[in-house]
Each structure stands twice: as structure tokens, then as C-alpha cells.
Structure 1
């Protein structure tokens, strides 16, 4: 069920539990600013989620409230994950759903990296 990003951060969301080590994840990247792991229901041959370590519900929340250091660290992490996955040359798509209309399901900012096949149009027509 999509979430309302204007609601307070929920410490019981699945990504918060992954960050605390309460739920296992197939981690591919981990630093002071971000953690990246394979999606449990991949929508492309490569489907990796990148999440900031901070308590941010959405891109709007993150861009308004994160420090410059957190923002830079997170953006750099997304690029590092794409490079490490070997998808830069063939191409990849970044997706961050925000709010009800976009279908955001987990109330913790996350960026999807999709790659490994032609991904088609960005939106259904």
C-alpha cells in the first residue's frame, strides 16, 4: 500500500530494520551515508536499492533536512553502486517513488537502480 510521505518517520519500516541488522539483506555497498542491497522482488536483471542511513521518508524530506555531507555522500553512493554493478556502459535507470500517486511503499527514501535489459519507455502510455 502506498504511503503518505508527509507522515513522521516510522522506525518499524523494513529499511529501518535492515539498517539496524534486524532483517538480512544481500548488501552490495555500505558506508557512513548509504547502504545498497538487492531487491527481494527484482523487476530487472539488476535491481538494487540504495538507501540513506538517516531517517528520511522521501526525496523531499531528504533534500530539505539532510546535511550537505549526507546529500553528497548518498548521491556519490548511488553512482558507486552503479559502477560496481557494471551497468554504466550499457545504461541504467534510477527511480525514487515519492508519495501516494507514485506508489511509494516503504516510508524510507530509497533509489532503485534498474539495469541489465532494455527498460522501455519511462511511463506507460
Structure 2
């Protein structure tokens, strides 16, 4: 399916960054013009593109993310926690935030993140001190699955590192469901 050139108006600079970093847009090698408008930047897609598979650029996105994995800079998830970037929140408590994925891979695709990153950038970097939050994330996944009506089953995925196609170095769980899932996944 080909998508014609279009204009996308972003709500704020953080949203523009999110759109600019979207794997589907990066896969198309698009250029952006982001003028400093007070109401938010305008991003112009300057050439038509087609994206036959949403996951075609996962490895490139993971490679790009891995290059800055050890940065202390706020991640997109830190900005969502701070409400700098809008999201559709489905669950929130003092430790965990769950929100709908902007690029869903199933009818239900929710991301669960710890509100305090505390050095937990990926599962392979977890320490014993992270045990409680890891358990909280999994238990919250169960609660959210119930809330979403996933009574026939669901999948929880954690991408870890470059080979695991991790694209944000802030530990997060993907809760997928709402249809029969396939195996192996990738």
C-alpha cells in the first residue's frame, strides 16, 4: 500500500521527535522541515513512500537505539511518564504506567513501564534490587490483560538489546492479545 506525501501537525516538539523517530518514517528515508511554530512544529513528508511491513526497519531502529543506550538522557518513556508526550493510559499506580502502543502489532498492544528507570534500561542489566519492580510489572500485565478482556490468553514480550530489537532503553513489557498469536514470532 503506497502512502502519498502528507503534512502532519505535531502537538509539540516532543511529539515531533516521536514522529520523526518512527520506524515506519525512518524506513522511508523521509526528510523533515520543523519550523519553530508556537503551537507546535509542522512536519512535512517530502516524498511518497510505501511501507509493506511495519517491522521492516526494526533492526535499524534497534541499532540506532543501541548506540545511545548508555545515555542518561530522558527516553521517550520518561517523557510519557512526565506527561510531556501524550499517551492513552490504561493503568497507572505509583510504580507502573501502562499505555497503548502507537504502532500496535495486535488488536490489544499495551506497553508497561516502570515509572522510575533506576538503571533498569534492559532486562539483561537487571540487578537483585530490581526484583520487586520486575514482579510488579508482570503482575500489572495480568491486571491489565483482565481489564482489556483478554480471557482467552495474551503474550508478554520483553525485547532486550540489539539482537532482541530493543528500540527504547527503558525496560518495558509489551502486552499483546485480542487475536490468535503465531509462533515463532520472529
* TMscore range, shorter length: 0.7 to 0.9
Give the corresponding residue for 1:40: 102
Give the corresponding residue for 1:92: 154
For residues 24 and 7 of structure 1, the distance between their equivalents in structure 2, rounded to whole angstroms, comes to 23
Asked if 2 retains the 8 angstrom alpha-carbon contact of 1:59 and 1:98, the reply is yes
Q: What is the TM-score when the length of structure 1 is the normalising length?
A: 0.86
- The CA RMSD measured in Å over matched residues stands at 2.0
- Distance of aligned partners of 1:106 and 1:58 in 2 relative to their CA distance in 1, 3 Å threshold: same
The higher-RCO structure (CA 8 Å, 6+ apart) is 1
- Out of 15, 18, 24, the position equivalent to 2:80 is 18
Give the corresponding residue for 1:116: 178
Give the corresponding residue for 1:58: 122
SS at match of 1:57: coil
Q: How many residues align?
A: 122
SS at match of 1:4: helix
Which ranges of 4 or more aligned residues in structure 1 deviate by more than 3 Å? Answer: 65-69
- Distance of aligned partners of 1:67 and 1:103 in 2 relative to their CA distance in 1, 3 Å threshold: closer
Asked if 2 retains the 8 angstrom alpha-carbon contact of 1:9 and 1:57, the reply is no
Give the number of the structure whose alpha-carbon radius of gyration is greater.
Answer: 2
- Out of 132, 143, 158, the position equivalent to 1:69 is 132
CA displacement, residues 66-99 of structure 1 (integer Å, 9 cap, x when unaligned): 4443333222212111111111x21111111001
- Distance of aligned partners of 1:65 and 1:20 in 2 relative to their CA distance in 1, 3 Å threshold: farther
- Distance of aligned partners of 1:116 and 1:6 in 2 relative to their CA distance in 1, 3 Å threshold: same
Q: What is the TM-score when the length of structure 2 is the normalising length?
A: 0.59
